[in-house]
């Protein structure tokens, strides 16, 4: 049914005139309210412009949440939504065309802006595929630009370093280096939609640690936590610190005991990690790209690489030499992680650490000003179709 709707949608796109001041945003296959499109949408909502904008969703909970607050939103699978989408000058997505329309195939007369999921550390796209099943078909698809990833009008990046990776991984040359709209929230918390600072009582803690690991493509034998997690919890409790854990949506194996007072799994409470990152004092991650954004805050990052060798051998390769490119500190064991947490105020203040940290910030962020949404809107609406 969705394919039939998409075909009708695509055919009508050549007949229905576009509204040159209309932009539609969406994410998570049309089910979520997150990512760069969300913060571009929030920017448009917070600023008085003559640009018309909507959030496109298939999720009635998201629709009702926005509608009740008088935010412009459409249900994708309704007649009204269908015709608003048809008239949009731009679609801003972060995953695929399914974020705003009906299938993952880009057909018809539309302008897609791929706002990107994040700066890759682990290999993605073409670079993550070690064997192409049918090279002849692959060459044909690329030559005639039949892959949807080749049809994006713009592909958003936040550094020239990232540009080269995106070109290799996705083959789309229409890269624009303007910064990520979601990172504007580090500079302007008014762009946040939910008040997790209040909901999670973050003001009651002296320090907020946040563990945000990526997913594993395959089962690995090593786990991040043992019974030592109870000793860590005791230390956190005594110092009025808290450690929140946000699992990747594809992560199935990481388990956090429910009887811990100061270590809390909030994976099901938060859909959008960006809503809490501005309030985090210390990020703990592994091979997730989250730290590329978080370093704009200037706050410490601990790299917990407890399964590094297994990850490289059984999951994915990386674009960089992990231990040479990143500033550290690295925790290869649970005990090392606990020691780094306990000594956070010592190592994070060293000039040598700050120097390497700032080098990373500069390399992966062309802009550090909170104006990424403004730059993107200026580009999109200062040019003609």
Q: What is the pLDDT of residue 197?
A: 92
143 & 243 share domain = no
The three-class DSSP label of residue 93 is strand
The enclosing domain of 357 has a CATH number of 3.40.50.12580
Segment 221-236, tens digit of pLDDT: 677 888 999 999 999 9
137 & 247 share domain = no
Which long-range CB contacts under 8 A does 367-372 form with residues at least 24 apart? 367/158, 367/178, 367/179, 368/296, 369/179, 369/187, 370/183, 370/184, 370/186, 370/187, 370/188, 371/179, 371/184, 372/158, 372/178, 372/179, 372/180, 372/181, 372/183, 372/184
Please check whether residue 26 is in contact with residue 100, taking contact to mean a CB–CB distance below 8 angstroms. Answer: yes
Residue among 150, 153, 182 at smallest CA distance from 32? 182
The enclosing domain of 74 has a CATH number of 3.40.50.11820
345 & 295 share domain = yes
Residue 108, CB-side half-sphere exposure with 13 Å CA sphere: 32
Q: What is the pLDDT of residue 129?
A: 65
- Name the residue range of residue 240's domain: 191-364
276 & 238 share domain = yes
Residue among 245, 257, 248, 262 at smallest CA distance from 211? 245
Q: What is the pLDDT of residue 217?
A: 66
Q: What is the pLDDT of residue 252?
A: 65
148 & 268 share domain = no
Number of domains observed in the structure of the chain:
2
Helix or strand (DSSP H, E) at 261: none
Q: What is the pLDDT of residue 144?
A: 44
Q: Which residues 6+ apart lie within 8 Å of 254 measured at CB?
A: 213, 223, 224, 245, 247
The three-class DSSP label of residue 63 is helix
Please check whether residue 242 is in contact with residue 205, taking contact to mean a CB–CB distance below 8 angstroms. Answer: yes
| Structure tokens given for 275 | 């809503």
Total Cβ atoms within 10 A of residue 288: 20
Residues of the chain below pLDDT 70:
129-147, 217-221, 252-253, 383-385
Segment 135-155, tens digit of pLDDT: 555 555 555 454 577 899 999
107 & 198 share domain = no
Please give the model's pTM, rounded to 2 decimal places. Answer: 0.92
Q: Using only C-alpha atoms, what is the Rg of the chain?
A: 22
Q: What is the pLDDT of residue 223?
A: 79
Q: What is the pLDDT of residue 131?
A: 44
DSSP string computed for 320-382: S-HHHHS---EE-SHHHHHHHHHTHHHHTT-HHHHHHHHHHHHHH-S--SS-HHHHHHHHHTS
Name the phi and psi angles at 11, rounded to 5.
Answer: -65, -45
197 & 269 share domain = yes
Q: Which residues 6+ apart lie within 8 Å of 64 measured at CB?
A: none
158 & 195 share domain = no
208 & 354 share domain = yes
Within a domain: 385: no
Please give the share of the chain, as a percent, with pLDDT higher than 90. Answer: 74
């Amino acid at each position: 049914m969705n394919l039939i709707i998409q075909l009708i949608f695509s055919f009508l796109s050549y007949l229905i005139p576009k509204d040159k001041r209309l932009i539609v945003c969406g994410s998570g296959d049309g089910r979520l309210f997150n990512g760069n499109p969300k913060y571009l949408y929030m920017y448009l909502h917070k600023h008085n412009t003559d640009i018309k904008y909507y959030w496109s969703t298939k999720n009635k909970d998201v629709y009702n949440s926005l509608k009740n607050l008088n935010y412009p939103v459409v249900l994708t699978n309704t007649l009204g939504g269908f015709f608003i989408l048809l008239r949009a000058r731009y679609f801003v997505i972060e995953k695929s065309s399914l974020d705003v329309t009906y299938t993952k195939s880009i057909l018809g007369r539309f302008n897609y802006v791929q706002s990107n999921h994040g700066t890759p550390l682990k290999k993605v796209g073409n670079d993550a595929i070690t064997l192409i099943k049918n090279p002849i078909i692959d060459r044909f698809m690329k030559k005639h630009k039949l892959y949807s990833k080749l049809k994006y009008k713009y592909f958003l990046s936040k550094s020239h370093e990232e540009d080269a990776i995106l070109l290799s991984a996705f083959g789309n040359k229409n890269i624009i280096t303007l910064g990520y709209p979601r990172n504007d929230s580090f500079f302007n918390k008014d762009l946040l939609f939910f008040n997790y600072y209040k909901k999670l009582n973050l003001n009651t803690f002296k320090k907020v640690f946040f563990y945000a690991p990526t997913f594993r493509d395959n089962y690995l034998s090593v786990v991040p936590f043992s019974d030592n997690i109870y000793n860590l919890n005791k230390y956190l409790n005594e110092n009025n610190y808290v450690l929140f854990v946000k699992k990747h949506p594809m992560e199935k194996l990481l388990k956090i005991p429910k009887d811990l007072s100061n270590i809390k799994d909030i994976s099901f409470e938060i859909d959008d990690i960006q809503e809490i990152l501005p309030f985090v004092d210390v990020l703990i991650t592994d091979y997730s790209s989250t730290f590329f954004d978080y370093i704009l805050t200037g706050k410490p990052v601990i790299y917990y690489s407890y399964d590094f060798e297994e990850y490289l051998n059984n999951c994915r390769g990386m674009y960089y030499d992990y231990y040479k490119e990143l500033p550290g500190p690295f925790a290869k064991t649970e005990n090392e992680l606990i020691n780094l947490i306990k000594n956070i105020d010592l190592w994070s203040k060293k000039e040598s650490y700050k120097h390497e940290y700032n080098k990373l910030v500069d390399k992966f962020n062309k802009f550090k000003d909170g104006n990424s949404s403004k730059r993107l809107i200026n580009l999109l609406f200062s040019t003609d179709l």
